[in-house]
Amino acid sequence: MSRVRTRVACIAIAFALTGVPPSWATDAQHGAAVFESCKACHNDQDDALGPNLIGVFGRKAGTLPGFHYSNAMKNAGFVWTAANLKDYLTDPQAKVKGNRMPFSGLANPGDLDDLIAYLQTLK
Ligand code: HEC
């Protein structure tokens, strides 16, 4: 608890000194930490449960060669943009009904923005 308070205090001081809001609204480094919860399935192992997300930005949904997607994902018919990723990762079943990613979604919008900023760096 006190660590959190120290962090908040530091940010408040930085804000007071620079006059600009802290830039962690899209903090890819924090996004990398959030991505830890995705890595169990999204990694470069041959037996990974999920498709590798390197290059996911700008890729058409359900099209990574060699990965066996659900029909729902194969037929999603859109490209992974920030907006589509945001919708999907907020509520995977609402965005791509019937897809088989066993993940219920991220509730914290800050985490989500940072995660998407991080995904954009995966090339
Ligand atoms: C328990 C395993 C698991 C976890 C955890 C998980 N995913 Fe997935 N993910 C999958 C599977 C399986 C699919 C393929 C779904 C399908 O084919 O219907 C998928 C698909 C995706 C896709 C579509 C990729 C493409 O090539 O079209 C994205 C984007 C994605 N996941 C992002 C994430 C992110 C970001 C997280 C963490 C917040 C996450 N996933 C957590 C298993 C997982």
Q: What is the pLDDT of residues 87-121, one digit of tens each?
A: 999 999 999 999 999 999 999 999 999 999 999 99
Residue 119: Cβ-neighbour burial (10 angstroms; 0-12, 13-18, 19+): buried
Instruction: Pick the atom of ligand 1 nearest to 100's CA.
Output: 18
Q: Is the pLDDT of residue 24 over 80?
A: no
User: According to the model, what pLDDT value does residue 26 have?
Assistant: 79
CB distance 22 to 15 below 8 Å: yes
Ligand 1 centre to CA of 101 (Å) is 5
Q: How many CA atoms lie within 13 A of 122 on its CB side?
A: 21
Q: What is the pLDDT of residues 26-35, one digit of tens each?
A: 799 999 999 9
Give me the residue label for tokens 């169990």.
40
Ligand 1 centre to CA of 70 (Å) is 11
Tokens encoding 70: 């659900």
Ligand 1 centre to CA of 99 (Å) is 9
22 or 49, which is more confident? 49
Indicate which residue's Cα is closest to atom 38 of ligand 1.
Answer: 38
Our answer on whether the CB atom of 103 is closer than 6 Å to any ligand 1 atom is yes
